Amino acid sequence: MEKSALQIARAAYQPKLPKALLGPVVAKEGKPTQSVGNQEEIKALFPNTYGMPVIEFVPGEQKQLEPFNVGIILSGGQAPGGHNVISGLFDGVKSLNPANKLYGFILGPGGLVDHNYMEITPEIMDEYRNTGGFDIIGSGRTKLEEVDQFEKGIQILRELGIKALVIIGGDDSNTNACVLAEYYAAKQYGVQVIGCPKTIDGDLKNEQIETSFGFDTACKTYSELIGNIQRDCNSARKYWHFIKLMGRSASHIALECALQCQPNICLISEEVEEKNMSLDDVVTYIAQAVADRAAEGNNFGTVLIPEGLIEFIPAIKKLIAQLNDILATPEAQNLGRSAQIDFVKNHISKENLEVFNSLPTSVARQLALDRDPHGNVQVSLIETEKLLSAMVAVKLEQWKKEGKYVGKFGTQHHFFGYEGRCAAPSNYDADYCYSLGFNASRLIANGKTGYMSVVRNTTAPAAEWIAGGVPITMMMNMEKRNGKMKPVIRKALVELDGAPFKFFASKRAEWAKQTAYVYPGPIQYWGPTEVCDQPTKTLQLEHQ
């Protein structure tokens, strides 16, 4: 594989580890835990892995372990730092016993079921250290839910002598890891399952997980792009740029990018829902900011929009919930696409039908027809940025006739998604991911299963980070998926009473009127520590 100058330079970077992981460790156990919701149901579903304590690794005595092998799976969408999780696990497993082997299952969980794997050797591993992407073994979205899948998995795990399986993924993937850990524990198969928190969306976090890996790099990458657009915007002075950002279930990316770039407008889905705003309320809010800037002679600006915004508008959220239930019925699934639209209209409530009919035809069809493997609306396919700008244009034309607006409204549209998912990891993500992987090897060595690898105190220097594990069952509750109640990890939304949002809210009126843009520039790898290694603004504000 030919390497770029950046890859060659980054290959020499040695990620930093928490001091606690530099020598032999022992697990210090906390109190028994319970799930964040639906305790009785979760306990009944996970009797063998429920109630385990949170653990923290502290220095211990050196123990000689018999050789063992480990498997690893990359699951779901890509996030910067995945290769460093694997390199941390690789180095951690080899440090326990050089004879240990690491096997990667190809193209996600499907590789486990289909027995498609490769051994990760030192030569292969060295090709991928500190690089972005998941291309070392690829990723996939196969869900591990069926007994047949679990049994096919155990066949290859036994054949390869694999003692533990590490699943790197988001909330759905780690829910699957928890289900698999429970099944293997109940059957006494002797295979441990460890999860690792990945998602650029930032919605896999809680008191124990400060941030999911990839969020730092993705936000810095998007912020660089937004900064570039804002510089162009402030140079040409003739366009309003509507920029949609990743974040279907939460607005963490939009909020972090707003904190870094200071755009004129940033919509936060959670606030839209909290204030019970209608689509027209959102449009009016943007249009007013456009009109106010036009009054000052500024016919340009930037608007950040989380991709899941439309799902958070209460009236549309109610519509989607009923659509999900109707479309999950066998009767609806056996119909053609056109017939489904008629079926939907005949089976939704009068209130929801009015909302459905008020939407542009293209958006209504996407809400009614397009679903992901989990049964959710594929909101990334809905061009919310174009929908909002078109509706703002109509409102401004109306105001112009009424003498309320004098200005020009030209628009440009952007959606930043794939641009950030495989970026070369920032120093923070390189260190954090390597630590998560290395830490997973210690969870395995300490006989843990059904745990997620966690590293905390990450606003401090890496040496002071705290490593350990949290039971995956602790994060779970019951939610409706594809028309059925299922155990899932609860998503972390933007907290409107949290420090990051409150700081943003205190500044947005000023940013809306003024041109207060910040241009973050490229991710910095070299230079002063205060530039290279700083964590996200979100984390800094949360830990003030």
- In the numeric block, which tokens belong to residue 248? 């279907």
Provide, for the chain, the percentages of residues in helix, strand and coil under a 3-state DSSP scheme, each rounded to the nearest 5: 45, 15, 35
Strand order in the sheet with 192-197: 25-32, 53-59, 466-471, 451-456, 192-197, 162-169, 69-74, 101-105, 117-119
Helix (H, G, I), strand (E, B) or coil at 104: strand
**Angle at which helices 499-513 and 252-261 cross, to 10°:** 50
DSSP H helical ranges for 66-121: 82-96, 109-113
**Angle at which helices 337-347 and 350-358 cross, to 10°:** 130
State which amino acid sits at residue 305. I
Q: CB–CB of 520/223 below 8 Å?
A: yes
Name which of 145, 194, 192 is nearest 472 in CA terms: 194
Beta strands in 394-450 (DSSP E): 411-416
CA distance 334 to 125: 47
Q: Spell out the residues 6+ positions from residue 498 whose beta carbon is closer than 8 angstroms to its own.
A: 541, 542
Per DSSP, the chain holds a count of helices (H) and strands (E) of: 23, 15
In sign, the C-alpha dihedral spanning 330, 334, 337, 339 is negative
CA angle 516/520/524 to nearest 5° reads 165
CA distance 112 to 75: 11
DSSP H helical ranges for 296-417: 309-312, 314-327, 330-333, 337-347, 350-358, 361-369, 384-401
In sign, the C-alpha dihedral spanning 292, 294, 296, 301 is positive
Q: Which of 91, 171, 172, 201 is catalytic?
A: 201
Task: Provide the 8-state DSSP code for 146.
Answer: -
CA distance 536 to 268: 18
Query: To which H or E segment does residue 102 belong?
Result: strand 101-105
Q: CB–CB of 210/539 below 8 Å?
A: yes
- In the numeric block, which tokens belong to residue 396? 């401004």
**Is 201 marked active-site?**
yes
DSSP labels, 386-397? HHHHHHHHHHHH
Query: To which H or E segment does residue 182 belong?
Result: helix 171-186
- In the numeric block, which tokens belong to residue 235? 């140079």
Name which of 395, 461, 421 is nearest 215 in CA terms: 421
CA distance 412 to 393: 13
Catalytic sites, residue numbers: 201
